[in-house]
Amino acid sequence: MKTHQSIKLTLHQKQLIAYCIRGFSHKMMALCFHTSIKTIYTEVKNIKYKLGLHHSAQIPGYALTHGFTFDFEGQHVYYEEELIM
């Protein structure tokens, strides 16, 4: 895995990670973003590469240990105190 400080994520990538944390499937993400499943697969693949991960299932664990948090009720996801979802 790459060091947390060297990784620059776009807002869209942070949003996709937030959906991964909440357990959304690729199909559900595609519906939310009004795009194709293939586009979501490509974007998630790019996120995994950027984070140095090998499997999509690793994204939530990585995110929750590197700056992503939930509010008390689990309704919103934050990255370094910035509201993402």
Q: Is the pTM of this model over 0.85?
A: no
Q: Which two tokens stand for residue 4?
A: 């947390």
For residue 5, the SS3 value is helix
pLDDT band at 7 (very low <50, low <70, confident <90, very high): confident
Quick one: DSSP state of residue 6? G
| Per-position DSSP letters for 24-54, written without gaps between them | --HHHHHHHHTS-HHHHHHHHHHHHHHHT-S
* DSSP letter (8 states) at residue 79: E
Residue 50's closest CA among 18, 17, 27? 17
Range of the domain at 76: 4-83
Categorize the per-residue pLDDT at 64 as very low, low, confident or very high, splitting at 50, 70 and 90: confident
Q: How many domains does the chain have?
A: 1
Q: What is the CATH number of the domain that holds 61?
A: 1.10.10.10
